[in-house]
Structure 1
């Protein structure tokens, strides 16, 4: 199974979703959000799949949100304010739905981070159950440098790794190398790049040894107890993300990025 932006492979008892936009460093655009949701739905129905690996094609996991698509949206929004509010509201809702579906997915999800991951790509990791990463998998959340708000990423980071790590990444704008991300518990295991998918398969097969209903109930229990507040926080974060895109700061940040210069903040 495949689409324009993701590939889905089934190697029972494990299914693999591959982010596949190598020409854009696997940046996440609207089509990829839709395709990821479709892939999750397909693998949910596959009884022979008992665990899912999420990885990227090439040597980059994901460059985060598609900045070119955002810049194009900004240009259209300048001419049509009504479109702006509707479009960005819908985008925020779709993204929130994807993350919610990942968190509620009844089968274990294993992120195999095959290279650098940024911004919105980090949200995909944080919505997974286990994160394996190679040595080159540096991690960053640079949204604020472009006048944007990492409204979906920040609550997930705080939930998985604590508020201090979330602030260092999303507020201070630090970049963590793989060793630092592992030390902080964001990455659960470091694996050589050429062994990453194989290790993911090993973990997936271990997961397949458990009763599916028990795994489903355990994941649900975690979300309904320690993660009870997370979905509310994600809804607030999606609103913050959409709101930030309407600001002059976002316009300047995206324009500066497209022109290859430093933004000038007022």
Structure 2
């Protein structure tokens, strides 16, 4: 792969966006390669968590606009359908936790790619920008879905329209992301978080992810019913049995993701 790197370590797939000279702005090649990598994550049971980050100084500056104006490029009519929507759908539906490790600026589609992940952490020097309004566009890649749910209607509306730059600490304060790490420990601390998730009961985490996603659309009673269904599935896993046995034996459980 030319535009991303993909490795597997300690049960975690490490995906790095690799266009640092462009602040990891997306072109068609990168988008399709990321889709391929996410498909690999879904297909391999030995992969139990995903760690997504960017090379160099940025996480992702969003769309490479030079591709949009290229008469031989995919054009705006194909970019969402073939590039970003397939990516965020894969992350949203992946039955494994996905950590976005935002190492620098995350702008436009790059910001919303991060926000669709299950756990979003950022370096102290990172920032988030809904840059779409600056060029007359609307937030895409799930931005209009995730932002109001994460930070509320008013903040989401203001950020989408004004395109303010949100420093990592402010993003954490308003609930946009989970946690901020100091720059000098960010790489190590964010990776440790992904490894921790990779050691946990994968099926139970996937069911948790499903329950949280469904809660946006259901009544209280419907959600209680769903929790009952998913809990029975979780209780049927090998990891549940190991977790209970380890608790009774006062030892650390060894989960297998099954």
**TM-score scaled to structure 1, two decimals?**
0.75
Deviation at 1:43?
1.7
In structure 2, list runs of 5 or more residues that go unmatched: 219-258
Q: Find the counterpart in structure 2 of residue 92 from structure 1.
A: 80
Residues 168-220 of structure 1: CA deviation (Å, up to 9, x unaligned): 22112211111211111112111122322321232123223432221122212
> Are 1:220 and 2:249 counterparts?
no
Q: Give the Cα separation in 1 of the matches to 2:119 and 2:217.
A: 16
1:36 aligns to what?
A: 34
Q: 1:129/1:227 Cα in 2 relative to 1: closer, same or farther (>3 Å)?
A: farther
CA distance in 2, matches of 1:12, 1:227: 35
Task: Trace 1:156-171 onto structure 2 (pairs within 5 A).
Answer: 156-171=146-161
Contact 1:159 1:227 in 2 (8 A): no
2:3 and 2:150 mapped to 1: Cα distance?
Answer: 27
Pick from 187, 192, 210: which aligns with 2:200? Answer: 210
| CA apart distance, 1:44 | 1.8
Instruction: For residues 144-168 of structure 1, give each alpha carbon's deviation from its aligned partner in whole angstroms, at most 9, with x where no partner exists.
Output: 1112222332322122222222222
Point out where structure 1 has 5 or more consecutive residues left out of the alignment.
Answer: 78-83, 229-266
Instruction: Identify which of 174, 197, 216 aligns with 2:164.
Output: 174
Who wins on radius of gyration, i.e. which is larger? 2
Higher RCO, 1 vs 2 (CA within 8 Å, ≥6 residues apart): 1
How far, CA to CA, are the matches of 2:217 and 2:70 in structure 1? 36
Distance in 1 between the 2:100 and 2:217 partners?
19
Q: Aligned residue for 1:108? A: 97
Deviation larger for 203-212 or 52-61: 203-212
The number of equivalent residue pairs is 216
SS at match of 2:145: helix
Residue 126 of structure 1, aligned match among 115, 121, 124: 115
CA distances 1:80-122 after superposition (whole Å, capped 9, x unpaired)? xxxx8xx533322222121111111111111111111110101
2:255 corresponds in structure 1 to: none
| SS state at 1:166 partner | helix
- Correspondence 1:194 to 2:192: no
Partner of 2:20: 22
Give the one of 45, 56, 60 matched to 1:62: 60
Q: Which residue of the partner structure matches residue 135 of structure 1?
A: 124
Q: TM-score, normalised on structure 2?
A: 0.77
